[in-house]
Amino acid sequence: MINPMELTGRTILVTGASSGIGRGVAIQAGKLGAKVVIVARRQERLEETAAMMEGAECHIAPYDLSDIDGISRFVKGVCEEVGPLNGFVHAAGIHIGRLVRQLKWEKSEPMMRLNYFAGSALTTAFRQRNCWATPASVVYISSIVSMRGNKGISAYAASKGAVDSMTRCLACELAEEGIRVNSICPATVRTEMFGGADNYLTEEGVQKIIDKHLLGVGEAVDVANAACFLLSDAGKWITGTSMVVDGGYLAG
């Protein structure tokens, strides 16, 4: 049987692979045959992910992506060990909710650093000699809030808006080299990150957000399937897009 999302023979790096969407992407890419490099800060959490990957070929690579200056050396070292990458998924991210009257730049800076700057630095690192091979696909995990506003998330939305703008520009820049660049904009997914929404919203406010999803709140695998689609030949004619995977949130 032909599977257009087959990833056998490809090496994919996934950041944020210790939990949530990143973990879901790593598991699903492994099921589709990819060799997966899983990246996050904590070794023990990455080992938990590796144990869930059902025998898929997996390389654990702990790294703190807030160290932007070291990302190129880190990726170079990974590729020296596992060979060139066919792509990466930048799923690592921070979501800190603050109303504008509470917002301070020092609280916003870590989000911009991890959500946007780290993704940009990973792309630069990916482009190093001997670090990538065709077919090549870059996928950033953005957010539906880059397209639809809500209270208390202006800084987070700005960081994800930067990701989507970067996606379109890099798609133009890297197409001639055969590298596709896309982002995915999920709405509410059951992860540890969404569990912190009650820090800036009332219980009623959280429920209102949930109720806006026509198909209900998503699971990590729903976003993982979209990421694997974009990594695979099934998405080979797609670049420069921000794919909405939101259970009908934007339509509602």
**Rg of the chain over all Cα atoms, to the nearest angstrom:** 17
Give yes or no: 140 in active site: no
Nearest to 132 by CA among 90, 182, 174, 171: 174
Question: How far is residue 118's CA from residue 39's CA, in Å, rounded to a whole number?
Answer: 13
Question: How far is residue 159's CA from residue 149's CA, in Å, rounded to a whole number?
Answer: 13
Question: How far is residue 231's CA from residue 80's CA, in Å, rounded to a whole number?
Answer: 22
Largest Cα span, the chain:
57
Question: How far is residue 125's CA from residue 142's CA, in Å, rounded to a whole number?
Answer: 20
Inter-CA distances, 249 with 105, 117, 144, 193, Å: 29, 27, 8, 18
Structure tokens at 248: 């009908």
Kindly give, in sequence order, each residue whose CB lies less than 8 Å from that of residue 166, ignoring residues fewer than 6 positions away.
Answer: 116, 119, 120, 140
Cα torsion 141, 146, 148, 151 to 10°: value is 100
Catalytic residue among 140, 156, 200, 249: 156
Kindly give, in sequence order, each residue whose CB lies less than 8 Å from that of residue 116, ignoring residues fewer than 6 positions away.
Answer: 159, 162, 163, 166
The residues annotated as belonging to the active site are: 156
